[in-house]
A and B are shown apart, each in its own frame.
Chain A
């Protein structure tokens, strides 16, 4: 595996872990916090998609 692919995978795991932890926290958030959390989770999901696209270009 190339160094770039390795770093992309690392980044992917990190973002997925954050998304999972955020999803676990979500149910206990207030309405305002839920809105903010959803925005951050959506942005993270978009970054995950971009990382996956970058990874597929390398393979």
Chain B
């Protein structure tokens, strides 16, 4: 870990000594009282500050003032307390504290805070991620991923939603790499197994547990010990299997098939599904209690057709591994208009095919041959009246107008933070129109007939 500049505000001499020992290897300065701490904050730059709140037996939580001063200077302020009330801790967070730990067991507490700080700093450099590990130029997706990266070092489960091929596994790997967890990234696609096989895959089995189990095998849950278990297409898991998985998540222990000895595993879950989990629950396909356990923070990965700017960004990236290609204007237009139903995976295959072909400069004919009979992306308001008109001729006026309404409503909702009543007032529309649009955009379940 890089050497950090750390300020410790602590009046107790023994506690000062303990903190200095735990932070050995970093640049540590100790302040025994508030005045010294404030002066140090004014004159030097610190990465982290550990602040005791009650400085002496009769003090009135004057450490809070140091937290406010530290937060104002961008210092990662940590409350160190022995038994302060929730009210005082809440006040510390309001003033800008970023973390908290109860005194005692400093060895693991301090190490955990330094780890979280380092991971948070890494997440702040997320812009690098978007040009290498998870390529996107889409502002909304960048924002969602940046937010998810903040939770990467925590124990919070993460859920990734989006159609097949949108990069859920890539994103799960990025989140694991930023988690600071020392264990492995273990991925399993739940839809690829029957119930029995999935159970054996997840929990492992003893030799002779079933016909064909010639040797014992470690399950994915155990392989993910101290790491990340990525459960892709979790919605396809049977309810029975969901119940078994839920028990393993809650107890952090499970029995391999044929074994009477429980295994323990400290894994963090990232799950993904193609379908809306709320709909899966309402259709009885997903247990609500499992959903509660796996959906801590959710990232919605839009299909490639909804982030057209990403098509050429990704294409450039895929070309780095192989041949550099260039496209004629017509070919570029056809690629841009294509709806990419297979998303990023389909684009990768497309570039791979072109790279292994004979042309360095790719023309419309080649592109059309590879994307033959494939759908064209729906028109958008951004394309102007001409595009809407073409859309109306193709799909009918009503469908084209619905698309216009959806884009305007979607934009307004985004601008006002999703407050629907404000959108009703801003756009002077009826509740009926708003809800019909939300249903078309997949924000609400379909109306029951």
Binding site for B on A (CB under 8 A): 7-11, 13-15, 17-22, 24-25, 36-37, 40-41, 43-44, 51
* A25 to B58 alpha-carbon distance, docked (Å): 29
Binding site for A on B (CB under 8 A): 12-15, 17-18, 21-22, 52, 54, 56-58, 82-84, 102-107
Cβ B18 vs Cβ A18 within 8 A: yes
Q: How many CB-defined contacts (below 8 Å) exist between A and B?
A: 62
* A19 to B56 alpha-carbon distance, docked (Å): 16
Contacts A17-B103, A25-B18, A25-B21 known; A10 to B83 CB distance under 8 Å? yes
* A40 to B104 alpha-carbon distance, docked (Å): 17
Nearest CB in chain A: distance from B10 CB, A = 9
Please name all residues of chain A whose beta carbon is closer than 8 Å to the beta carbon of B22 when the two chains form the complex: 25
* A13 to B52 alpha-carbon distance, docked (Å): 13
Identify the closest chain B residue to A11 (Cβ).
Answer: B57
Cβ A13 vs Cβ B17 within 8 A: no
Instruction: Tell me which of A18, A25, A36, A37 contacts B12 (CB under 8 A).
Output: A18
Identify the closest chain B residue to A45 (Cβ).
Answer: B14
Nearest CB in chain B: distance from A16 CB, A = 8
* A37 to B158 alpha-carbon distance, docked (Å): 44
Instruction: Point out which of A7, A14, A43 has the most chain B C-beta atoms below 10 A from its C-beta.
Output: A14
Cβ B83 vs Cβ A20 within 8 A: no
Instruction: Tell me which of B14, B54, B103, B105 contacts A40 (CB under 8 A).
Output: B14
Cβ B54 vs Cβ A21 within 8 A: no
* A25 to B166 alpha-carbon distance, docked (Å): 50
Contacts A7-B57, A51-B57 known; A14 to B12 CB distance under 8 Å? yes
Nearest CB in chain B: distance from A32 CB, A = 13
Instruction: Tell me which of A9, A14, A37 contacts B103 (CB under 8 A).
Output: A14
Identify the closest chain B residue to A42 (Cβ).
Answer: B14
Cβ B58 vs Cβ A7 within 8 A: yes
Extra contacts besides A18-B15, A18-B18, A37-B17 (9): CB < 8 Å: A9-B83, A10-B54, A10-B83, A11-B54, A14-B103, A17-B102, A22-B17, A25-B18, A40-B17
Contacts A17-B82, A43-B13 known; A22 to B57 CB distance under 8 Å? no
Cβ B18 vs Cβ A10 within 8 A: no
Cβ B104 vs Cβ A20 within 8 A: yes
Cβ B18 vs Cβ A21 within 8 A: yes
Nearest CB in chain B: distance from A55 CB, A = 11
* A14 to B107 alpha-carbon distance, docked (Å): 16
Please name all residues of chain A whose beta carbon is closer than 8 Å to the beta carbon of B17 when the two chains form the complex: 22, 36-37, 40
**What 5 pairs across the A-B complex have the smallest Cβ distances?**
A17-B103, A14-B82, A17-B104, A18-B15, A13-B82
Cβ A21 vs Cβ B105 within 8 A: yes
Instruction: Tell me which of A9, A13, A18 contacts B14 (CB under 8 A).
Output: A18
Cβ B13 vs Cβ A40 within 8 A: yes
Please name all residues of chain B whose beta carbon is closer than 8 Å to the beta carbon of A21 when the two chains form the complex: 15, 18, 103-107
The contact sample of 27 A-B pairs, CB cut-off 8 A, is A7-B58, A8-B57, A10-B82, A10-B83, A10-B84, A11-B54, A11-B57, A13-B83, A13-B103, A14-B82, A14-B103, A15-B14, A17-B15, A17-B102, A17-B104, A18-B103, A21-B15, A21-B105, A21-B106, A21-B107, A22-B14, A40-B13, A43-B13, A43-B14, A44-B12, A44-B13, A51-B57
